[in-house]
Amino acid sequence: MNSARPNYLSKVRRLARPNPRRRHAPPLGEIRLDTLRIDELRIAIRANQVTFPSSVPTFGRHDRADLQWKLAQLYFVLGWNCEGIAAKYGLIHQRVRQILKTWKRRAVETGYIQYIPPPDGPSSVIQPA
Protein backbone atom coordinates (compact mmCIF):
# COMPACT_ATOMS: atom_id res chain seq x y z
CA MET A 1 0.00 0.00 0.00
CA ASN A 2 1.19 3.47 -0.81
CA SER A 3 2.31 5.31 2.34
CA ALA A 4 1.05 8.66 1.01
CA ARG A 5 -2.52 7.39 0.65
CA PRO A 6 -3.44 7.41 4.40
CA ASN A 7 -2.07 10.96 4.71
CA TYR A 8 -4.10 12.06 1.70
CA LEU A 9 -7.29 10.48 3.03
CA SER A 10 -6.89 12.00 6.49
CA LYS A 11 -6.28 15.44 4.94
CA VAL A 12 -9.36 15.13 2.72
CA ARG A 13 -11.52 14.02 5.66
CA ARG A 14 -10.25 16.91 7.79
CA LEU A 15 -10.77 19.48 5.05
CA ALA A 16 -14.21 18.16 4.08
CA ARG A 17 -15.66 18.71 7.56
CA PRO A 18 -18.29 21.45 7.73
CA ASN A 19 -17.15 24.78 9.08
CA PRO A 20 -18.77 25.54 12.46
CA ARG A 21 -18.33 29.29 11.87
CA ARG A 22 -20.46 29.14 8.75
CA ARG A 23 -22.57 32.21 8.07
CA HIS A 24 -26.35 32.10 8.20
CA ALA A 25 -28.31 32.36 4.97
CA PRO A 26 -29.13 35.95 4.04
CA PRO A 27 -32.76 37.01 3.58
CA LEU A 28 -33.18 35.79 0.02
CA GLY A 29 -36.05 38.06 -0.93
CA GLU A 30 -33.70 41.04 -0.79
CA ILE A 31 -30.73 39.63 -2.73
CA ARG A 32 -30.29 38.67 -6.38
CA LEU A 33 -28.90 35.18 -6.95
CA ASP A 34 -26.10 36.38 -9.19
CA THR A 35 -24.73 38.56 -6.36
CA LEU A 36 -24.56 35.73 -3.81
CA ARG A 37 -21.13 34.38 -2.97
CA ILE A 38 -20.70 30.66 -3.53
CA ASP A 39 -20.70 29.91 0.22
CA GLU A 40 -23.96 31.85 0.67
CA LEU A 41 -25.48 30.02 -2.28
CA ARG A 42 -24.43 26.68 -0.79
CA ILE A 43 -26.17 27.56 2.49
CA ALA A 44 -29.35 28.54 0.60
CA ILE A 45 -29.28 25.34 -1.48
CA ARG A 46 -28.77 23.14 1.57
CA ALA A 47 -31.63 25.00 3.35
CA ASN A 48 -33.95 24.28 0.36
CA GLN A 49 -34.40 27.98 -0.36
CA VAL A 50 -32.87 27.71 -3.84
CA THR A 51 -33.26 25.01 -6.47
CA PHE A 52 -30.37 22.84 -7.58
CA PRO A 53 -30.60 20.64 -10.68
CA SER A 54 -30.76 16.89 -10.04
CA SER A 55 -28.50 16.24 -13.01
CA VAL A 56 -25.79 18.85 -12.67
CA PRO A 57 -25.20 20.58 -16.02
CA THR A 58 -21.82 21.07 -17.64
CA PHE A 59 -21.15 24.25 -19.57
CA GLY A 60 -18.86 23.35 -22.45
CA ARG A 61 -17.40 26.77 -23.25
CA HIS A 62 -15.42 26.91 -20.01
CA ASP A 63 -12.20 25.27 -18.86
CA ARG A 64 -12.37 21.93 -17.12
CA ALA A 65 -15.82 21.05 -18.39
CA ASP A 66 -15.03 17.48 -17.34
CA LEU A 67 -14.79 18.55 -13.67
CA GLN A 68 -17.48 21.25 -13.45
CA TRP A 69 -20.37 19.03 -12.46
CA LYS A 70 -18.26 17.02 -10.01
CA LEU A 71 -16.98 20.13 -8.26
CA ALA A 72 -20.45 21.71 -8.15
CA GLN A 73 -22.01 18.59 -6.66
CA LEU A 74 -19.27 18.12 -4.06
CA TYR A 75 -19.36 21.78 -3.01
CA PHE A 76 -23.03 22.73 -3.17
CA VAL A 77 -24.79 19.44 -2.39
CA LEU A 78 -22.35 17.41 -0.32
CA GLY A 79 -20.86 20.37 1.57
CA TRP A 80 -17.17 19.86 0.78
CA ASN A 81 -14.92 22.89 1.04
CA CYS A 82 -12.66 24.13 -1.76
CA GLU A 83 -9.50 22.91 -0.07
CA GLY A 84 -10.83 19.35 0.21
CA ILE A 85 -11.95 19.33 -3.41
CA ALA A 86 -8.58 20.75 -4.49
CA ALA A 87 -6.74 18.00 -2.61
CA LYS A 88 -8.95 15.34 -4.19
CA TYR A 89 -8.44 16.53 -7.79
CA GLY A 90 -4.88 17.89 -7.54
CA LEU A 91 -5.83 21.53 -8.09
CA ILE A 92 -5.18 24.66 -6.06
CA HIS A 93 -8.14 25.92 -4.05
CA GLN A 94 -8.22 29.23 -5.93
CA ARG A 95 -8.77 27.32 -9.18
CA VAL A 96 -11.60 25.34 -7.60
CA ARG A 97 -13.24 28.59 -6.48
CA GLN A 98 -12.83 30.05 -9.97
CA ILE A 99 -14.50 27.02 -11.58
CA LEU A 100 -17.33 27.10 -9.02
CA LYS A 101 -17.93 30.85 -9.47
CA THR A 102 -18.07 30.45 -13.25
CA TRP A 103 -20.41 27.46 -12.94
CA LYS A 104 -22.67 29.39 -10.52
CA ARG A 105 -22.85 32.40 -12.83
CA ARG A 106 -23.80 30.26 -15.83
CA ALA A 107 -26.30 28.16 -13.84
CA VAL A 108 -28.08 31.30 -12.61
CA GLU A 109 -28.07 32.85 -16.11
CA THR A 110 -29.60 29.75 -17.70
CA GLY A 111 -32.20 29.23 -14.96
CA TYR A 112 -30.89 26.06 -13.36
CA ILE A 113 -30.69 27.84 -10.02
CA GLN A 114 -33.79 29.76 -8.90
CA TYR A 115 -35.49 30.82 -5.70
CA ILE A 116 -38.01 28.43 -4.19
CA PRO A 117 -40.99 30.57 -3.18
CA PRO A 118 -41.95 30.19 0.48
CA PRO A 119 -45.17 28.31 1.13
CA ASP A 120 -48.24 30.40 1.67
CA GLY A 121 -49.14 31.14 5.26
CA PRO A 122 -51.72 29.25 7.32
CA SER A 123 -54.50 30.50 5.03
CA SER A 124 -53.45 27.95 2.38
CA VAL A 125 -54.19 25.04 4.72
CA ILE A 126 -57.78 23.84 4.51
CA GLN A 127 -59.32 23.86 7.94
CA PRO A 128 -61.75 21.05 8.81
CA ALA A 129 -65.34 22.18 9.27
Whether residue 122 is contained in a domain is answered as no
Whether the CB-CB separation of 82 and 97 falls below 8 Å is answered with yes
Q: Which domain holds residue 53?
A: 4-116
Whether residue 127 is contained in a domain is answered as no
Give 10-residue mean pLDDT values along the chain (129 residues).
Answer: 57 60 56 85 87 76 79 91 94 94 89 79 50
Report the domain count for the chain. Answer: 1
Q: Quick one: pLDDT at residue 81? A: 93
Q: Quick one: pLDDT at residue 124? A: 47
Whether residue 48 is contained in a domain is answered as yes
Whether residue 125 is contained in a domain is answered as no
Whether residue 110 is contained in a domain is answered as yes
Whether residue 40 is contained in a domain is answered as yes
Whether residue 124 is contained in a domain is answered as no
Q: Quick one: pLDDT at residue 11? A: 60
Whether residue 29 is contained in a domain is answered as yes
